[in-house]
Structure 1
């Protein structure tokens, strides 16, 4: 449990929101962005007008033509300018309004990378096959790093310079896991905190299907097989 006073000041931060055809969810998601924070919506090839809608709602829009969750996340990280950077899904399943508490804990020195552990609130929020795949990966991660994490969810926060220094290379579904693995290898402190996880708006492009979940698991298992990256090989933003 955090011991940081709730009234502790929170530095304004950038929130990276990878986006592929999320026009239906954008008004609710962007409406929950904390005051003074910047939403960076990374359009990954939407055909439903998501980019124009996000821009009209006040978000900074970055276009990433390479398809892939990691490609969108990393484009957002490169576009970020604040000391702290947060990541959140753009489908309405997670509340970006919770992220100031994440940043507060990092700024106070409790941890370096804080992950949101998804707590299901509502039927269908997290399909059984996706939950099972996440559990397997969490166990494999524990063997690889010793971290006793329960979830590798997309909501997280860290310092921009430290995240860029990890030299992340995965541009598919393995990106969130690679961030955790390389952060652990680099000696960063990693923790998790519970966050409500509600049914998304619209159909999932990845974990909503067995095929999508299997592809994500394959991408992440490949990350776990990578040898520890040498610190000297990291550090250059790409």
Structure 2
């Protein structure tokens, strides 16, 4: 069995997947969750040795949860499939969980170039991080698109959101359950291709609305 399963929600990431999958550390298995790609992403992932899971219901949370459900390793990590993260950095996120030092580790993004993190997405993240820090009583600088925790406790949290609020609900429910949550810096690079969410002001606004709804419902 693999030590860690890495869930990669995917919607038309054919150009990025070869780079992403090649950067996985030894002992880490990629679970690419195809969320309706039309560019051959699933075929590329399968050819590269990843496990491919298909989720027909559109939404970040739907894809991520399908990957979590399909995972078999004791620890599950999550990251974007657009090459904005270097997956060789995953041990810095996973190892504190594996050692029992923390229950959930989040990667806070450190932009490597000015264009890596659009201004509207950065401002939205800062706003939401402050709100979730207050609600969860955990000081956070980022919402943790790269994160790791143990699989069974994650499933036991009972995350319900299937849109952009999924990561936020995960942190809120984990904090309410008394989890030890920490952050570590990870490099953040310009993504390959066009973002479906934070690449546009409209997409960012939708994500904020989703997460604000989750804050009202869960906190």
TM-score bracket relative to the smaller structure: over 0.9
Partner-residue secondary structure (3-state), 2:192: coil
State the alpha-carbon separation in 2 of the partners of residues 212 and 75 from structure 1.
Answer: 22
State the alpha-carbon separation in 1 of the partners of residues 80 and 37 from structure 2.
Answer: 15
Number of aligned residue pairs: 218
Q: CA deviation at 1:211?
A: 0.3
- The answer to whether the aligner puts 1:219 opposite 2:210 as a matched pair is yes
- The answer to whether the aligner puts 1:194 opposite 2:194 as a matched pair is no
What are the ranges of 5 or more consecutive residues in structure 1 without an aligned counterpart? 1-10, 229-238
What are the superposed Cα offsets for residues 77-131 of structure 1, whole Å, 9 maximum, x if unpaired?
Answer: 0000011000010000001111123221112121100000000001311000001
What are the superposed Cα offsets for residues 26-50 of structure 1, whole Å, 9 maximum, x if unpaired?
Answer: 0000000112321000000000000
CA contact (8 A) 2:5 2:77 kept: yes
What is residue 120 of structure 1 aligned with on the other side? 111
Q: CA deviation at 1:147?
A: 1.1
Q: CA deviation at 1:146?
A: 1.2
What is residue 210 of structure 1 aligned with on the other side? 201
What is residue 67 of structure 1 aligned with on the other side? 58
- Among candidates 65, 68, 75, match of residue 77 of structure 1: 68
Partner-residue secondary structure (3-state), 1:124: helix
State the alpha-carbon separation in 2 of the partners of residues 227 and 213 from structure 1.
Answer: 21
State the alpha-carbon separation in 1 of the partners of residues 7 and 22 from structure 2.
Answer: 15
- Among candidates 7, 30, 34, match of residue 21 of structure 2: 30
RMSD: 1.0
What are the ranges of 5 or more consecutive residues in structure 2 without an aligned counterpart? none
- Among candidates 106, 128, 141, match of residue 137 of structure 1: 128
Structure ranking higher in helix proportion: 2
- The answer to whether the aligner puts 1:162 opposite 2:153 as a matched pair is yes
State the alpha-carbon separation in 2 of the partners of residues 129 and 37 from structure 1.
Answer: 33
Q: CA deviation at 1:218?
A: 0.5
Q: CA deviation at 1:63?
A: 0.1
The alpha-carbon distance between structure 1 residues 110 and 66, as it changes in their structure 2 partners (threshold 3 A), is same
Structure index of larger Rg: 1
TM-score by length of structure 1 reads 0.90
TM-score by length of structure 2 reads 0.97
Structure 1 segment 221-236 matched on structure 2, within 5 A: 221-227=212-218
